[in-house]
Amino acid sequence: MNEYFKKHKVHLMAWVFFAVLKTIAAVLFALYMQKMIDAVSAMDAQKMLHTSIAGVVIVVCYAAFGYVGSYFEMKFSQKVLVDVRQDICKSIVSTDLDSYRLHKSAEYTSILNNDIGMLDEKYFLCLPNIVIQILTFLIATVTLYQMEPWLAFSAILLCAVPLIVPFLFGKQISARQKSYIHVLDWYNGKLKNIWNGYEVIKSYHVEREILTDYEKCNWEVERTHFSVRNTQNMSRSISGGVGFLIDVCMMGIAGILVLKGYVTVGILIATIQLMNYIQTPIQWISKLLADYKTSQPVLKRVTDILNLPKDADHGEKLKTALPISVENLRFSYEEGEEVLHNLSVTFEPGKKYAIVGNSGSGKSTFMYVLMHYYNHFEGEIRFGSQSISDIQKKELYRSIALIHQNVVVLDGTLRDNVSLYESYSDENIKQALIRAGMGDYLNEKGLDFTIQESGSNLSGGEKQRIAIARAFLRNTPVMILDEATSSLDSLMAAKIEQTVLQSDTTILNIVHQLKADSLKQYDEILVFSKGAIIERGNYDELIQKDGIFRSLLSVMSA
């Protein structure tokens, strides 16, 4: 995390510099009070006038330095927060799929929404404030020493006591803060489930049950939050009580010195004023040290996300995407749980392949491995003469368009959602939309039509056609469809399938609904079961075998 302090050292140093100037102005005000009291005691009107003018100047400087210092503090915080959020998001987006799945999406959301604010207050602003408070303490103590050494020594000894308090409560606060972070993750996950399942909640009339479950979650969040705050409050209360005791002791010591004639009444008043800048920094340091301890679980969690392994994209440029040869492919999500078993298949240029099988048979997993989403597989995958491990991923993705069954649409225009912010002409975007069956929609809305959050103003079929248009726009030599027409009506699905099959593109289509007329148009059908290809051939060959495919056809064609 030190790099963020270094990167924004100009704003950081300006903040500390003006904070110190503000402290010097405050100390000068204490000296002003001493001079004014002594001038009043001596009945010296001229000295009172000069001292008053100096006091006004000091007050103006104090206010100006305070504003400028706070401005640089806010700018430092702003720039650090932008950088940290950007780096976290970059780390998440840049990691490989295996590492991404180590954390839940609610945890990522919680880190970006909750943890960053906590880290700002209790780490990035905390450490410079500790430095500022130490400097404030030193300036005030040196000034007091110049006035009366015994008062300075007494202040140092007495003010060391509050520093013990954070060490008494530090571990307890840190443990409770860690518990609170975990509960926030759980809470965010609950919220995500409610928003994503809103239609289901309404259609099954389970609002009361959902609210009851949410109430339990809500109370648990606030219970753990209260536990953290209560422990912090106890720490602060004890520190505050000790602070008042120090005031009583210092007043007694200064009063004795006045009675014995060692110091003037003016010095007594200045001592009281300076004690604010000796004792308060100690109290603040005590609080800031407690905050710093509290930030450690959050700091570790954010650091872990920032240090997610990068999805290495080194290697060669792709010479040709076809043919795709798969030999003895084996894959496991977790050690000992093999999902794909000894798969071997070759996809030839321009041919059309239908991939069928029951849910959970490994069809989608096979496509994700083929797209090199996962690095840990056994066997060999080759594109042309090149091994997939030797090819840059970005080169691979330029040659293969994968249409997912779960479509993601962005807040933005229809143009942006199809082009995904890449540079394509409007004419090419329009042609892609027309091929995807959105010609009428395009004529009615236009490319500048704004799509709302999560595509709330689109139907499921419209979202899926946008995803298909993205693939058509890129005009890749290979297109993989992962149940890409499942949300479309049968007529539109058949029309888009025909468009796809009539292209020169090599097609790998995971088919969710088996229809004889469509399947007859594929060059080869691969039948998956329990992570293995158990049958293969064209439609007529598989029908004649009277095996698993024929059974699937009778069930899934309904």
All structural domains of the chain: 2-306 (1.20.1560.10), 324-556 (3.40.50.300)
Nearest to 239 by CA among 286, 292, 294: 286
Rounded to whole angstroms, how far apart are CA atoms 351 and 508?
9
pTM higher than the cut 0.75: no
Tokens of 243: 């602070």
Q: Reduced to 3 states, what is the DSSP secondary structure of residue 480?
A: strand
Rounded to whole angstroms, how far apart are CA atoms 198 and 206?
10
Q: Who contacts 445 (Cβ-Cβ below 8 Å, separation ≥6)?
A: 414
* Cβ atoms 355, 403 nearer than 8 A: no
Helix (H) or strand (E) holding 82: helix 45-94
pLDDT value at residue 76 = 96
pLDDT value at residue 48 = 83
* Cβ atoms 109, 192 nearer than 8 A: yes
Tens digits of residue pLDDT in 190-228: 887 777 776 667 666 677 878 888 888 889 989 998 988
Determine how β-strand 352-357 pairs with β-strand 506-510: parallel
Burial of 523 (0-12, 13-18, 19+ CB in 10 A): middle
* Cβ atoms 273, 93 nearer than 8 A: no
Profile the chain (558 residues) by mean pLDDT over runs of 10 residues. Answer: 91 96 90 79 81 89 94 95 91 81 79 87 92 91 82 76 71 81 82 73 72 87 88 79 76 77 75 78 81 85 88 79 93 81 93 91 90 87 91 86 80 88 90 88 90 79 85 89 76 80 88 86 93 93 88 72
User: Tokens 């025909």 map to which residue?
Assistant: 498
* Cβ atoms 232, 126 nearer than 8 A: no
* Cβ atoms 165, 239 nearer than 8 A: yes
Rounded to whole angstroms, how far apart are CA atoms 415 and 430?
9
Determine how β-strand 478-482 pairs with β-strand 400-403: parallel
Determine how β-strand 377-383 pairs with β-strand 386-387: antiparallel
pLDDT value at residue 483 = 78
Nearest to 445 by CA among 473, 475, 464, 466: 466
Beta carbons within 10 angstroms of residue 466's beta carbon: 24
Q: Reduced to 3 states, what is the DSSP secondary structure of residue 209?
A: helix
pLDDT value at residue 370 = 92
* Cβ atoms 446, 479 nearer than 8 A: no
Burial of 188 (0-12, 13-18, 19+ CB in 10 A): buried
Radius of gyration of the chain (CA): 35
Peptide linkage before 297 cis (omega within 30 of 0):
no
Half-sphere exposure (CA, 13 Å, Cβ side) for 469? Answer: 32
Nearest to 539 by CA among 526, 556, 554: 526
